[in-house]
Structure 1
Amino acid sequence: MSSSPSPSADPSTPSDSAGGRQSETGGSSPAVYRTKPNRHFPFLARHPWVLANTLADAPKQTSKKTASAKTGSPDSDPPGGQHQDAQAASEPVHADPEHAKQQQTEPRDPGQPIDLLDHDGNWIGRGLANPASRLRLRLYSFSRDEPVDDALFAKRIDEAVARRRLATPANPPAGAAAAEDGTAENAQMPIGLPQKGERLIFSEADRLSGLIVDRYADCLSVQFTAAALLSRGPFLIDEVLAAAEKYGTPCRRVVARMDAATAKHEAVSPEQIAEVESWSRGIDTAPSPTNLSAPNPSDPSSSDAEQDPESSNHTVWYWHNDLKMAIDLRDGQKTGGYLDQQANHAEAARYMKGKRVLDICTYTGGFALAAARAGASEVIGVDSSEKALQMARRNADANSLSHVQFERADCFDDLKQRHERGEFFDAVVLDPPRFAGSRRQVDSALRAYARLNMSAVNLLQPGGLLVTCSCSGHVSRADFLNMLADVGRKRRRDIIILQSRGPASDHPLAVSCPESDYLKCVIAQVH
């Protein structure tokens, strides 16, 4: 299972309120942040994340006289590199005497607009601050004439949804096909509405840092990863709904969420999380049922209320390629599913016909079910989450795939035990969770990837297929491929890469934010 990139943070103080729009000045004097000397070059290249350790120390409030100073703009944005290098150091400095008078100030609340200056007082960009987060400032504008306001976010949301329609038309309704077989699963699919899944907004890649929106059939799954956006939460949801309808994918349900780990990093309280969840529409927030098996229409004692997660209305069915899939939008990981792997599921399945396949970290069965549908002779999916496996089994039943089974186990232990039993497979799929949440964890993550891949190679027949993935944004593609080369050397096996892939096309890449190039999916043959 994969995960979108999320910067690590370490907040120390809580923020005030999730809801309640704040004024553009946050009710206080305008504020600025200054970078430390020579720490501004990534932001000249428009990287949106400003960490606390890049900022000058000892923030102070500006005087009323200084705060009211105008902030003129240079004719063009100064170019720069992602790191301090000879080219970046040689770029011209634009004098900014008005800003040079200002001292760094600290906002009181998340969501206050902040101007970012270099150490000499030259204007760089504008964003929204969170004084309680290690990710102190998210930049949204690099033009001094462009305020960070509702109009900017509405424009960016419209552009993001329109971007998905450049190459892919609005998903056609699947209601007719859904109505033909009369299954309980298809009965839950809204007839006449778009049925597929896609990512509509991808945070930094769509110049909307802190906002991720996926669409599953007629339901939007909205994930907030920045406390600075919470004061605008209901407005942002309304704008996404309007854009989705404008571009041919109208939605009638919304799930809004912020996961616990993000809330900790962003200093968001449980009460604020509850407020975010209250922005959901048409979705039941009652506790999930534990039994996710499909209801049996021939058994009167098997009622939907007892067994069908649709009874709580936060399980949504949608078409994932040519498979009917259920995802739990409230309690599932990320935004409920893994749309970034949708194209990789289909592509890997092309190699699986007639093969015995082991899918490690299967989650709700993405790779496993695609392989089974493509004609694999036997498929085993393994995951440590029983709840995810229950959903995977339900998905298998919904697609009449009887030759796939799911087992609960730790991925490392399962691979080791199968090797000890002398098992072999024609194909092994590895789609583990993120191993590196920060740059400090890259080395340990690469060791974990090496251990996992060596264990998988042990189970492959000569000529077998290895599908191996990494969703750690801090692990570069080059490092991941070097890890595979080391695995081949240590196991004395030749690893021939057939395809080196990334996420689906609805997950664009921002060149200014390399972390958005997070997902690696390698399809290789092992001899």
Structure 2
Amino acid sequence: MSSAAPTIVLKPRKALPFFSRHPWVFEGAIAHGEGEATPGQMVRVVSHERKFIAWGLWNPTSRICVRLYSWDEGQPLDEAFWRRQIQAAVAMRREVFAGGDPERACRVIFSEADGLSGMTVDRYGDWLLVQWTSLALAQREEMLLRILNEELKPRGIWRRTEKGMAEAEGLEIRDGLATGEQPPRPIVITENELQFAVDVVEGQKTGFYYDQRDNRRAAAGYVRGGRVLDTFCYSGGFGLAALKHGGAKEVVAVDTSAAALELARRNAELNGLADRMRFVHEDVYKQLEVLRDAGEQFDLVILDPPKMTRTRGALERAMRGYQSLNKLGLSVLRPGGILVTCSCSGLVDRTMFEEMLAGVALDTNRRIQVLEARGPAADHPLALHCPENAYLKCYICRA
């Protein structure tokens, strides 16, 4: 099989990132192909000097023309290879979480970070949620889900799609039950001694933001009985942690989504914390202006907006958005208060985000001290060969 695979020849001076195990080959790096490659087919990638680099999967529709998976010429992309990749990802979570609550409520496969570019799997107790962002891996869904079933034995696997993947990858699949039983709505999971109701069928993204697990607990440690503003609150994760672990006297939770606020309200009731949590259905920027103009002050302000840009062309506008948001956040934060400010935009790196915060400090004439510069939880590891997956930044600051 491998000897008959088409070959992709790279241009001169374009091979170094891929010898260094970066998994994405864009069209601009490709000189030509040898042999007819069909979408999703395994291809052999070589330098212009014909030196083997890696085995990958071809997709001419995508900006990422080849996703690389195996740098061992003797290990093509057969079922045994995929099984080892999945087994390694599952084993890492078992070792890191060692039977604790996160082992049953975590990200099991994190795409590039687990050597499975284009595949994301979250675990919700007895159910799994899978999301494909690669046409080639979606074509192998039956095999990959069979391996997942053998390794984790879930009662069911639900498939979710990501907006824009049909155009980006030529991927035509729908949300729905992939294998096993329908998941309950909601599924209740445990995180840091709190219970959360999760709707994997219609919730945002893949249902729950596991990546902020440790940051929610860390932020709660700075509450110390104070008043908290939780913006873009979604299911109430930061606010509920502030109440449970920080003893907050009040949390004001703001979100533009009525469905998200209903979920947050349900979670507050589930944990017996609804009496200290107030919910506001409004655009966050507008609500911050209302609170500022009313002279409201909080001891801790949480800014956890959704991704602000997916393209480099929109990066400048995104940075203006972060700057405006953080200035508004500071306007309702008491002197000496704690600002928890986040970005999940992968194109915004830490240097850019810190420079933005420095500009905000100058514009507002306030000193911002970074107490903790945090990233995602351990089930979202960083692939050093693919820095693009270092997307989440969480800064806990004193202002």
State whether residues 379 and 404 of structure 1, in contact with CA within 8 Å, keep that contact through their aligned partners in structure 2: yes
Give secondary structure in 1 for the equivalent of 2:164. helix
Query: What residue in structure 2 maps to residue 65 of structure 1?
Result: none
Q: Secondary structure at the match of 1:166?
A: helix
Residue 397 of structure 1 is matched in structure 2 by 269
Tell me the distance in 1 between the aligned counterparts of 2:68 and 2:103: 35
Q: Distance in 1 between matches of 2:35 and 2:266?
A: 54
**One of 352, 361, 364 as aligned partner of 1:479:** 352
Q: Which residue of 2 aligns with 1:137?
A: 66
Q: Does 1:470 align with 2:399?
A: no
Given candidates 364, 382, 389, the residue that maps to 1:509 is: 382
- Residue of structure 1 equivalent to 2:395: 522
The residue correspondences of 1:192-271 to structure 2 (distance < 5 A) are 196-244=104-152, 250-269=153-172
Provide the residue aligned with 1:98 in structure 2: none
Residue 86 (structure 2) pairs with residue 157 (structure 1): yes
Indicate if the aligned counterparts of 2:97 and 2:103 stay in contact, CA closer than 8 A: no
Aligned to 1:319: 190
Q: Secondary structure at the match of 1:447?
A: helix
* Cα distance in 2, alignment partners of residues 147 and 523 from structure 1: 45
Instruction: Give the Cα–Cα distance (whole angstroms) in 2 for the partners of residues 480 and 379 of structure 1.
Output: 26
Question: What is the letter of the counterpart of residue 282 of structure 1?
Answer: E
Aligned partner of 1:47 in structure 2 is: 22
Equivalent position amino acid for 1:108 in 2 = T
Q: Is the 8 A contact 2:134 2:171 kept in 1?
A: no
CA, structure 1 residues 436+394, in 2 after alignment: closer, same or farther (shift >3 Å)?
same
Match 1:108 to one of 38, 59, 79:
38
- Counterpart CA distance in 1 for 2:350 and 2:163 is 29
Q: Does 1:456 align with 2:386?
A: no
Aligned partners of 1:368 and 1:379 also within 8 Å: yes
Mapped partners of 2:180, 2:252: distance in 1: 37
Question: Deviations for 1:227-250, whole angstroms, at most 9, x for unmatched residues?
Answer: 111221122122123222xxxxx5
Unaligned 5+ segments in structure 1 are 1-23, 60-102, 173-193, 245-249, 285-312
1:388 to 260, 272, 275: 260
SS at match of 1:37: coil
C-alpha distance 282-415 of structure 1, shift in aligned 2 (>3 A):
same
Which has the larger Rg?
A: 1
* 2:174 equivalent in structure 1: 273
Whether the 8 Å CA contact 1:425–1:460 is kept in 2: the answer is yes
In structure 2, distance between residues paired with 1:321 and 1:242: 29
The offset of 1:106, in angstroms, is 5.1
- Cross-structure match for 2:10: 35
Taking structure 1 as the reference length, the TM-score comes to 0.72
* Partner deviation per Cα, 1:234-279 (whole Å, 9 max, x = no partner): 22122123222xxxxx53222122223223311122xx326xx341
After superposing the two structures, state which structure 1 stretch, 129-138 or 118-127, moved more. Answer: 118-127
Q: How does 1:348-359 map to 2 (within 5 A)?
A: 348-359=219-230
Higher relative CO (Cα under 8 Å, sequence separation at least 6) belongs to 1
Distance 1:105 1:434 in 2: 40
* SS at 1:279 equivalent: strand
Distance apart, 1:29 and its partner CA: 6.3
The percentage of counterpart residues that share the same residue type is: 41
Map of 1:13 onto structure 2: none
1:317 is aligned with what amino acid? V
SS for the counterpart of 2:322 is helix
> What is the alpha-carbon distance in structure 2 between the residues aligned to residue 357 and residue 148 of structure 1?
50
Q: CA deviation at 1:280?
A: 3.9
Q: Distance between the aligned counterparts of 1:242 and 1:226, measured in 2?
A: 22
Q: Secondary structure at the match of 1:273?
A: coil
C-alpha contact (below 8 Å) 1:195/1:318 kept by paired residues: no
Shift of 1:445: 1.9
Q: TM-score, normalised by structure 2?
A: 0.94
Determine the C-alpha separation between the residues in 2 that align with 1:337 and 1:278: 18
Q: CA, structure 1 residues 220+170, in 2 after alignment: closer, same or farther (shift >3 Å)?
A: same
**Structure 1 residue matching 2:95: 3-state secondary structure:** coil
Query: Which residue of 1 is the match for residue 361 of structure 2?
Result: 488
Deviation at 1:196, TM superposition (A): 4.3
Report the CA distance shift for 1:280/1:453 in structure 2 as closer, same or farther (over 3 A): farther
Structure 2 segments unaligned to the other structure (5+ residues): none
Q: Which amino acid aligns with 1:410?
A: D
State the distance in 1 between where 2:201 and 2:367 align.
43
User: Deviation of residue 343 (structure 1)?
Assistant: 0.8
Residue in 2 aligned with 1:368? Answer: 239
1:196–1:376 Cα change, 3 Å: farther
Contact 1:263-1:273 at 8 Å conserved across structures:
no
Letter in 1 for 2:267: N
- The Cα offsets for residues 409-455 of structure 1, whole Å up to 9 and x where unpaired, read as 11222212221222211111011111121333333222211111111
**CA offsets, 1:213-238, max 9 Å, x none?**
11112111111111111221122122
Amino acid at match of 1:47: H
Cα offsets for 1:445-496 (capped at 9, x unmatched): 2221111111101111100110001111121112211211111111110011
RMSD: 1.9
1:195 to partner: Cα distance: 8.3
Which of 483, 492, 499 is 2:372 aligned to? 499
Measure, in 1, the Cα distance between the counterparts of 2:103 and 2:87: 21
Aligned residues: 397
What are the superposed Cα offsets for residues 22-49 of structure 1, whole Å, 9 maximum, x if unpaired? xx68xx9631222233222211110001
Report what 1:124 is aligned to: 53
SS state at 2:180 partner? coil
Task: Check conservation: 2:111, 2:119, Cα contact below 8 A.
Answer: yes
Q: Residues 479 and 132 from structure 1, CA distance in 2 versus in 1: closer, same or farther, beyond 3 angstroms?
A: same
Assess if the C-alpha contact under 8 Å between 2:43 and 2:58 holds in 1.
yes
Contact 1:283–1:314 (CA under 8 A) maintained in structure 2: no
Query: Secondary structure of the residue that 1:432 maps to in structure 2?
Result: coil
